[in-house]
Amino acid sequence: MIYIDEIKNIFVLTTKNTEYAFCVDNIGLLRNLYWGEKIDSIKDYEIEELVEVSTNDPVFEITKEEYPVYGGLRYKENCLKATFSDNTRDIVYKYLGYEKSDDELIIKLKDKYYDLQINLVYKLYYEFDLIERKAIIINNSKEDILLENVMSAQLHIPYENLTFRNTHGYWAAEQQEFIQNVSYGKIVIENRRGVSGHNHNPYFILDNNATETTGEVYFGALNLTGNFKGVIEQTQYGETLVQMGINDFDFLYYLSPNEKFETPEIVIGYTNKGFESMSHNMHAYANKHIIKNSNIRPVLYNSWEAMEFKVNAKEQIELAKRAKDIGTELFVVDDGWFGQRHSIKNGLGDWYVNKEKFPNGLEELIKEVKNMGMFFGIWFEPEMVNPLTELYKKHPDWVYNFDNRERNLSREQLVLNITIPEVCEYVFETLDYYLTNYDIDYIKWDVNRPISEPGAKNLLKNERSLWINHIKSVYKIVDRLKKKHPKVLFEACASGGGRIDFGMLSHFDDFWTSDNTDAYDRLFIQNTYSKIYPIKAMRAWVTDCPNFLSKRVIPLEFRFDSAMMGALGVGCNLLKMSESEIDICREKIKYYKEIRHIIQEGKFYRLDKTLKDNDYYSFEYVLDDEVILFVFLPQSKIGHRHTFIKLRGLDENSSYEFTINNENKTKSGIYLQNHGLKIKLSGDYQSMIIRLKKI
Ligand code: DGJ
């Protein structure tokens, strides 16, 4: 709900359990008044008059501004820095008014002298306790205005000494959670690579001694891929500030007369019920408003780990037959099927079917796959080109470059400048050709290197907007393809999980979570992923052992159980598997199909370890009357102790029936939540899935 006190200029946004309030004060500043648990009493808000404490502490520094601009006596991080055509580098805004609908509020600000308008948009997601914020900068003047920094929002958290959580990582080590105490000074998380990043993720989680189920958590995630920046600052005035948006690193944008610049949205939320409630709200929001294709995800087979670049029609058909036999529903040919792609050195850009590998074209394989009743998917790396290709020979000017600089290769490839309309069209047409002429249901869209030598002369004076324009072109291509081929699912991959963010998920359907397919490592990667991002989009494969990365050997059952926690896939070399292993695959996939609606659409619970010195990991999914419990014991410790797993999210007044160790049992919800379920696993890499049903 949106409440407005027209006399005092107070705006109160309420969701089911939370409230966000701000005002326009007597000197025209847009000031945050509150963010936290719901109050629902607009009449109680008062606007304190600003009083300068000392000349060293100007009111602008102390004031909780909703969208601080660079100008006047402001020295902290700003949300908007601009230079006008007469070189004035200072913004002074005044309040123009507002526009309101049921779930959206737009606050309009304007520079006091120049025709620069700032619209701040607040969109409410009432049932999920979330608010989306963004800013729209409009040039109503007759001259260009140079934007040097444009953030999506500033947020004020009324505490010091909070705990900040985000991810660090690198290739095959994505989603490693770090937890940092916030003190005086700034924490900066960012990406400067343009296309991908395995390190920081564009979200913030700040808590005040929270646990999974208790305590206050403030959080937000940016709808942006690539160059983002987030600043968390505990100020000297007793609060913590957050700013997130497009990275101002190497960013400049000349806003032409009558042009608008829109920031990506940041979705923000508050809960006093711990991280679990944060994740539930974010997952529900993503499933309903971010993910466009809400269908249950098929079980896929992907050929990458089994064959790498050595794909050919004969073996792919053999693999597809086995993949069908074990129960997978979607067969994806990964890298290696096109051009002269025998290794990383060549092929990208020459998107013709390799005749030596597929003498009868892709048609033969697709026909086999379709005749078996499976979906067909194929890999592309559309934003890239290898210098050895025909495409590069023909269009050496199609990549980002500076005239007098060597073009740095990474994975032997260069990044196509898809901000050039012709190049963008080429990428669209290439994919459109395949989707039009072949019966393709799934595209795995990969990207395996960052942008370097970021020259894009085509953008003229706005060359330094290429970081944001590149990703906008990606979004545009995928949106156009989806419009024309609506049944096709798109998987976002960037050397594994380098593009996991709401920007991607607003356009793509699945994430390839990590090239690290070690089932034990995945428990941690998936755990951190689940804090913000929805389970349905989390692709997880079962692959061969010893794992190519960790060299670990993990029983196939555990590997399946770990991968079944998301959208299941298989990447094993099925041609080399024993009959008993094939049997396990069949059995596990059959079971996954029975429970996947609960996994992909249920509420997800990261259950605590309940016994000290015990290394059981447990996770739970609840959808209506159905419950799935995953338990993992990576390593037995002395004594092979049992554990009691206290379930959550059950109906306390109902009973649940389930089978454990071949014994049928019935227990009340209240017993399962308070006493817990006794589980004993022994050995290393042991796991168990228990399905409970409310009666
Ligand atoms: C990186 C991806 O993460 C892998 O799954 C695979 O598709 C390779 N690229 C192919 O080159």
| d(CA 570, ligand 1 centre) in Å | 14
Q: In the annotation, is 515 catalytic?
A: yes
DSSP 3-state of 21: strand
CA angle 408, 413, 417 (to 5 degrees): 85
> Range(s) for CATH 2.60.40.1180 in the chain?
605-694
Per 3-state DSSP, the chain is made up of helix, strand and coil in percentages (nearest 5) of 25, 35, 40
Q: What residues are in contact with ligand 1 under a 6 Å CB criterion?
A: 304, 334-335, 379, 446, 448, 493, 495-496, 512, 515
Q: Which of 301, 308, 341, 512 to mutate to test the pocket of ligand 1 (most atoms within 8 A of CB)?
A: 512
> Range(s) for CATH 2.70.98.60 in the chain?
2-290
List the beta bridge partners of residue 34: 21
CA angle 619, 624, 630 (to 5 degrees): 15
E strand or H helix at 274: helix 274-285
CA-to-CA separations, 453 to 16, 193, 230, 414, 463, in angstroms, rounded: 48, 11, 24, 10, 12
Q: Are strands 510-512 and 489-492 parallel, antiparallel or unpaired?
A: parallel
Strand locations in 169-319 (E)? 176-181, 185-190, 203-208, 216-222, 228-234, 240-246, 253-255, 260-262, 266-271, 300-302
What distance in Å separates the CA atoms of residue 453 and residue 599, rounded to the nearest whole number? Answer: 43
> Range(s) for CATH 3.20.20.70 in the chain?
300-601
Please report the atom of ligand 1 found closest to the CA of residue 334. 7
Burial of 267 (0-12, 13-18, 19+ CB in 10 A): buried
**Range 432-436 contact pairs with CB under 8 angstroms and sequence separation of 24 or more:** 432/480, 432/481, 432/484, 432/485, 434/351, 434/378, 435/481, 435/484, 435/485, 435/488, 436/484, 436/485
Residue whose token pair is 């019935």: 666
- 514 and 528 Cβ atoms separated by less than 8 Å: no
- 357 and 347 Cβ atoms separated by less than 8 Å: no
Burial of 411 (0-12, 13-18, 19+ CB in 10 A): middle
Digit-coded pLDDT (tens) for 106-130: 999 999 999 999 999 999 999 999 9
- Print the SS3 string covering 392-435: HHHCHHHECCCCCCCCCCECCEEEECCCCHHHHHHHHHHHHHHH
| d(CA 605, ligand 1 centre) in Å | 30
How many CB atoms sit inside 10 A of residue 694's CB?
A: 15
The predicted model gives 604-631 an average pLDDT of 85
DSSP 3-state of 388: coil
What distance in Å separates the CA atoms of residue 128 and residue 17, rounded to the nearest whole number? Answer: 9
What distance in Å separates the CA atoms of residue 628 and residue 257, rounded to the nearest whole number? Answer: 57
CA-to-CA separations, 661 to 303, 645, 687, in angstroms, rounded: 35, 15, 12
Q: Note the CATH number of domain 2-290.
A: 2.70.98.60
Beta carbons within 8 Å of 54's beta carbon, 6+ residues apart: none
pLDDT of 572 higher than 60: yes
Please report the atom of ligand 1 found closest to the CA of residue 308. 10
Beta carbons within 8 Å of 35's beta carbon, 6+ residues apart: 18, 19, 20, 21, 155, 156, 157, 158, 218, 270
Digit-coded pLDDT (tens) for 551-569: 999 999 999 999 999 999 9
**Positive or negative torsion for Cα 634, 496, 483, 502:** positive
- The token pair that represents 348 in the structure block: 């990208």
Confidence of residue 499 (pLDDT cuts 50, 70, 90): very high
Q: Which of 495, 499, 525, 570 to mutate to test the pocket of ligand 1 (most atoms within 8 A of CB)?
A: 495
What distance in Å separates the CA atoms of residue 429 and residue 436, rounded to the nearest whole number? Answer: 10
- Position 403 scores a pLDDT of 97
pLDDT of 334 higher than 80: yes
Digit-coded pLDDT (tens) for 455-484: 999 999 999 999 999 999 999 999 999 999
DSSP state of 360: T
What distance in Å separates the CA atoms of residue 325 and residue 334, rounded to the nearest whole number? Answer: 20
Q: State the Cα torsion 357-361-365-366 to the nearest 10°.
A: 140
CATH assignment of 300-601, among 3.20.20.70, 3.40.50.300, 3.40.50.10190, 3.90.1570.10:
3.20.20.70
Confidence of residue 609 (pLDDT cuts 50, 70, 90): low
Architecture (CATH level 2) of domain 605-694: Sandwich (2.60)
Give me the catalytic one of 248, 441, 446, 521.
446
- Position 639 scores a pLDDT of 65
Please report the atom of ligand 1 found closest to the CA of residue 344. 11
Confidence of residue 610 (pLDDT cuts 50, 70, 90): very low
Beta carbons within 8 Å of 520's beta carbon, 6+ residues apart: 550, 552, 554, 558, 562, 634, 685
What distance in Å separates the CA atoms of residue 340 and residue 342, rounded to the nearest whole number? Answer: 6
Burial of 468 (0-12, 13-18, 19+ CB in 10 A): buried
DSSP 3-state of 76: coil
- The token pair that represents 658 in the structure block: 């389930």
Give me the catalytic one of 335, 515, 521, 544.
515
Closest CA to 472 of 134, 117, 227, 192: 227
Digit-coded pLDDT (tens) for 68-91: 999 999 999 999 999 999 999 999
Q: In the annotation, is 111 catalytic?
A: no
| d(CA 445, ligand 1 centre) in Å | 9
How many alpha carbons lie under 13 Å from residue 14 in its C-beta half-sphere?
12
Measured by CA distance, the residue closest to atom 9 of ligand 1 is 495
Q: Which of 346, 448, 514, 539 to mutate to test the pocket of ligand 1 (most atoms within 8 A of CB)?
A: 448
Percent of the chain with pLDDT strictly greater than 70 = 99
- Position 437 scores a pLDDT of 98
| d(CA 366, ligand 1 centre) in Å | 21
Q: What is the DSSP string of 81-141?
A: EEE-TT------EEEEEEEE-SSEEEEEEEESSS-EEEEEEEEEEGGGTEEEEEEEEEE-S
Identify whether 68 is preceded by a cis peptide bond (ω within 30 of 0): no
DSSP 3-state of 460: helix
Tell me the average pLDDT of the chain. 96
pLDDT of 611 higher than 50: no
| d(CA 380, ligand 1 centre) in Å | 10
Confidence of residue 614 (pLDDT cuts 50, 70, 90): low
Closest CA to 463 of 448, 474, 451: 451
